[in-house]
Amino acid sequence: MRIQISSWLLLVCFCSSFFGLHPILVSGRCLDNQKVLLLALKNEVQFDSSLSTKLVGWNQSVDCCDWGGVACDKTGHVIGLDLSNESISGGFNGSSSVFSLGFLKSFNLAYNSFNSAQLPLGFGKLTQVSYLNLSNAYFEGQIPGDFSSMKRLVTLDLSSSPYYTLVLENPDLKMLIQNLKEVRELHLDNMKISTHGYHWSGVISSSLPNLQVLSLKSCGLSGPLDSSLSMLKNLSVILLDENTFSSDIPESFGSLQNLRVLSLRACNLNGSLPKKIFQIPTLKTIDLSSNVILKGPLPEFPENGSLENLLLSYTEVGGTLPDSIGNLPLLSRIELRGCKFTGPIPDSMKDLTRIVYLDLSSNHLTGSIPSFRLSKNLAYLNFYLNNLTGGIPSFQGLNSLQFLDLSYNSLNGDFPESLLALPSLEYVYLSNNRLSGQFRKDIDVSSYKLRNLDLSSNKFVGSIPGFIFKLPLLSTLKLSENNFNGVIDLDMFGKFKELYALDLSYNDLTVKVNMGSKSSFSSELNTLKLASCKMKELPNLKNQSRLMMIDLSDNELRGEIPNWIWEVGNGYLRFLNLSSNKFSSLQKPYTFPFLLDVLDLHSNVLEGDIPIPPRRVYHLDYSNNNFGSSIPVNFGNVLTSTLFFSMSNSKLVGVIPQSIRNATSLRVLDLSHNTLTGPIPSIGNSKDLQSLDLSVNKLNGSIPVELANLSLLSFLNLSYNHLSGKIPQGSRFQTFTELSFKGNKELCGPPLKKSCDKKRI
């Protein structure tokens, strides 16, 4: 959303002058020649009449000064033309009738779809135009040279989308603006501007002395940021996001006493925060976020400061938050996510009565959470991933609060029941704290809008709280890793018509599954985690067309893994964990879903042939089973994307297939505790391998020399095999102890004490 704070009065002026808000300007009737030109324009351009709200209504029977998007002066000449959002897709060229509207002062073609067409010559004929907006109209290519003839321009907006790029190369930026002395607003976002180093800023400061709003976001500009911009004393808005300045912020920016908005997000800025900028009495918004090496503490803020938006997320800015932040009574948005702040949250924040959005997540804050009872407008509160302690304060009266994330702290005490009285609340995340206690059965619930509730990884006890089943819009429920107990019927969750994710894992619950043809869940279900829930039967998931993640591990499931499970999610299943059950086989025929990323069947009693996984799988765990068979010859050919592969302790026999050399993405390979024979195949192509465990087998032959060249290998266990010969020497092998090689009687050389017989070698 473009910010044009400084131009509000100017915009009102334009609207009054050009769009018929002033009664004097609409007293004249449309001149015939003006109507002819406008009707010709309508016939020239291609537009979607079903989406048009202006052009579609232009016709002979109505005075053209009353047409949508048209403004006339008192003599009947067209002075304003607004064809924005008209679904125009073509037919605009150098012979367009619009270039014959000699009295035109305002022209807006923004938000159309010209499908990569070049801007035509002809704009230079519009010498009276003071407002020109061609933004996001999907034009591409070089800006025509005659734009520089529009000497009365006050506002010029040529911003484009990242996918349709306008170019300023020949003519360049200097040639475009050198004659536009009256320009007060310049918007060229996403334009490819050809310029050398920081010279662009000197061109602007010398050519546009009246400039108030400068927006050059994502223009490919380089630095360093030059102090010449501070010569433009009327500048009130600077938007230069996503350029590569690689410099500090000039201290001279602090002399821009009319500055209201400064946005330099993701500009690779370095150095420290310039304190002087924060003292500018008119400053309302400062956004320096995503400058990952920008450092320094926050300065002290002046009393009754005007700042409304403070955005410094993902920088190195840190230290303690100053108490003087309470001096900013107009603050409505604070984003300090992923910074380096330490110490307590200032108690003065309770005085920020206008705060709407407060994000201090991913810092190192300590102490307790202050009360925000006076912050009646607070809608978003995020203290995720800090070191906060104490109880959760009452949120009574915060009727605008929609989002609350206090997860990953060390908060204790009971669940704050005051949350359930907040009528706007939709998202609550309290996971990974030390909250405890049992929920009352008669809790009043007013938060009927609640969609996401995450209480996982706490110390709650008792049965699943009854208030949960009074939340009709609940979409995500995560209660895992608590001490909830009792029997819960899975059918109870059928009342949630929008249920997207359910996680009840690792409590002391017994989940009861009613065997029937009907599913217990809504058709929206995407994630189901019921690990360690004492389940004896698989829930009916056959018709869950959107389900992508299933974790039913550590239960009491047995028998065949039904083949319908591979069709869940219409073949788009991405994650399946059925480990630590008592499954004995896979029902045939079966076809693994092509997009399956994680398949975990470890610690079952699977027997017989080893299932060949899909090629996309990156985590494959068949360990601790009873296969009693050999690894298929071509098995390695389907592991080209696999990062983790384990079949340890699965009663494997035969050799490790040579195809394992094609598993070049492996980081972990564990085939230990089997009865594998033959040599270790060459796996030198697995350059990312970090852990290799082939221990307790019957492998023979020498250790492949290329293993010693795996630079990332940090864990190696080849112990208790029948390997022989000299242990290869390499930078990584020198870090391994004899524990990696012991139990191989014919191995010799360091780190083993047994030296190698030269005759043998």
Residues 282 and 307 in one domain: no
> Which pLDDT belongs to residue 517?
60
pLDDT digits (tens, 9 = 90+) for 636-660: 999 999 999 999 999 999 999 999 9
17 found inside a domain: yes
682, 659 in Cβ contact below 8 A? no
215, 188 in Cβ contact below 8 A? yes
How many domains does the chain fold into? Answer: 3
Q: Is 634 exposed, middle or buried (0-12, 13-18, 19+ CB in 10 A)?
A: exposed
Among 424, 448, 472, where does a domain finish?
448
454 found inside a domain: no
Residues 78 and 119 in one domain: yes
Residues 396 and 334 in one domain: yes
pLDDT digits (tens, 9 = 90+) for 699-733: 999 999 999 889 999 999 999 999 999 999 887 88
Compute the distance between CA of residue 97 and CA of residue 36 in angstroms, rounded to an integer: 9
Residues 225 and 344 in one domain: no
The share of the chain scoring above pLDDT 70, in percent, equals 96
Residues 243 and 162 in one domain: no
In one letter, which amino acid is 385? L
Enter the DSSP assignment of 489: E
pLDDT digits (tens, 9 = 90+) for 294-353: 999 999 999 999 999 999 999 999 999 999 999 999 999 999 999 999 999 999 999 899
With cut-offs at 50, 70 and 90, classify the pLDDT of residue 81: very high
336 found inside a domain: yes
> Which pLDDT belongs to residue 441?
80
> Which pLDDT belongs to residue 201?
93
Stated pTM of the model? 0.89
303, 326 in Cβ contact below 8 A? no
**pLDDT at residue 761 above 80?**
no
Q: How large is the average pLDDT for residues 483-512?
A: 96
Q: How large is the average pLDDT for residues 231-255?
A: 96
pLDDT digits (tens, 9 = 90+) for 524-573: 899 999 999 999 999 999 989 999 999 999 999 999 999 999 999 998 99
144, 168 in Cβ contact below 8 A? no
Domain with 12 in it: 1-126+133-150+158-169
What does the radius of gyration of the chain's CA atoms come to, in whole angstroms? Answer: 34
Compute the distance between CA of residue 285 and CA of residue 723 in angstroms, rounded to an integer: 68
> Which pLDDT belongs to residue 102?
96
pLDDT digits (tens, 9 = 90+) for 403-420: 999 999 999 999 988 898
206, 233 in Cβ contact below 8 A? no
H helix intervals, 208-315: none
**pLDDT at residue 26 above 80?**
no
491 found inside a domain: no
Residues 114 and 64 in one domain: yes
**pLDDT at residue 8 above 90?**
no
> Which pLDDT belongs to residue 482?
98
Q: How large is the average pLDDT for residues 574-580?
A: 99
Residues 372 and 285 in one domain: no
Q: What is the mean pLDDT of the chain?
A: 93
349 found inside a domain: yes
**pLDDT at residue 459 above 70?**
yes
pLDDT digits (tens, 9 = 90+) for 139-198: 999 999 999 999 999 999 999 999 899 999 988 999 999 999 999 999 999 999 988 778
**pLDDT at residue 48 above 50?**
yes
Residues 300 and 444 in one domain: yes
Residue with tokens 């320096």: 288
Among 236, 266, 293, where does a domain finish?
293
pLDDT digits (tens, 9 = 90+) for 375-387: 999 999 999 999 9
Three-class SS of residue 297?
Answer: strand
> Which pLDDT belongs to residue 759?
53
**pLDDT at residue 56 above 80?**
yes
> Which pLDDT belongs to residue 196?
75
pLDDT digits (tens, 9 = 90+) for 464-494: 999 999 898 999 999 999 999 999 999 999 8
Pairing of strands 70-72, 78-82: antiparallel
Residues 334 and 431 in one domain: yes
325 found inside a domain: yes
Instruction: Tell me the CATH number at 288.
Output: 3.80.10.10
520 found inside a domain: no
Residue 230's nearest CA partner among 211, 256, 204, 249 is 256
Among 293, 324, 341, where does a domain finish?
293
With cut-offs at 50, 70 and 90, classify the pLDDT of residue 758: low
Residues 387 and 312 in one domain: yes
Residue 185's nearest CA partner among 347, 7, 329, 61 is 7
> Which pLDDT belongs to residue 444?
78
Q: How large is the average pLDDT for residues 278-291?
A: 97
**pLDDT at residue 21 above 50?**
no
With cut-offs at 50, 70 and 90, classify the pLDDT of residue 583: very high
Q: How large is the average pLDDT for residues 605-615?
A: 96
pLDDT digits (tens, 9 = 90+) for 101-121: 999 999 999 999 999 999 999
Whether omega for the bond prior to residue 299 falls within 30 degrees of 0, making it cis, is: no
SS3 content of the chain, % helix, strand, coil (to 5): 15, 25, 60
Residues 48 and 162 in one domain: yes
Residues 9 and 32 in one domain: yes
315 found inside a domain: yes
